[in-house]
Amino acid sequence: MKYLIKSLAGLAVVSSTFIATNSLAQTSAQATTNTNDYEQINLVKLNAGALLLKTFSIQYERAISRKSSLALGFRATPKSSLPFKSTLESIIDDDETWRNVRNLETGSFAITPEFRYYLGKEQLSGFYFAPFLRYSHYTAEMPFIYDITDPTTSTVVAQDVMPLSGSMNTYTAGIMIGAQWRLSKKFYLDWWILGPNFGASKGKIDGAKNLSPFEQRDLREQLADLDIPLTDYTYEVTDTGAKMDFDGGWAGVRAGLAIGFRF
């Protein structure tokens, strides 16, 4: 009887030891997995949606806590004609302005720092709000078409072109609403749902050309009639060319669908 009791007691000790060891191993493995997740706090992302607009857009994101992160984006667009021309035409809604804007060729780059706050329980995942700043630099070439009128009859007798080119800087702030999901251990999908931003712009364009007094008058009048949304501008026309200075408001919208790699 005593031998049976001792045997049962020994078996209980061995079983308890085995259970405790196994439980500790599982806890340790789980802790290692969680630690690995929290050690991989970086994401680099490519905005696949921007490629449809011939724009290269990448973002680097780094977690600073379970719920928040910092990110830095870079976007570059080679010089080309304006996209969505039919939409822009309806916004401008002025025939003379559209006659020139439709021939505009522009390129740009932008730098966008942002802070993200996630609503989900997992690090770098879930819906988020992201206040951000954006600096953008635009270059532009616009052959400005203007009418030449007969000073005696005030009728249009010909058209001429003033080749204008220059650049503009914009400074905006906004907030992005988005969502980010884990696709696998390493890959993520980041949906930039909507990121309106507003701010200021400043720039100039100019062109050189010999102009007669009548051509100066006609060009000056038609530059005065331009209707450019949000932006104020001043202009100057001389016998050697023309220039325009822009200084006013600016607005934009961020959106996209990015594929990210976590490391």
Task: Indicate the range of 40-49, 192-201, 207-216, 219-228 predicted with least confidence.
Answer: 219-228
Q: What is the CATH number of domain 42-262?
A: 2.40.160
Distance of CA 9 to the CA centre of its chain: 69
Contacts of 257 (CB under 8 A, 6+ apart): 47, 48, 49, 189, 190, 191, 192
Span 145-155, pLDDT tens digits: 888 887 777 78
Span 99-128, pLDDT tens digits: 777 788 899 999 999 999 999 999 999 999
Of the pLDDT bands very low, low, confident and very high (cuts 50, 70, 90), residue 256 is: very high
The predicted model scores a pTM of: 0.76
Give the Cα-Cα-Cα angle 142, 223, 158 (nearest 5 degrees). 80
Question: What local confidence, expressed as pLDDT, does residue 189 receive?
Answer: 98
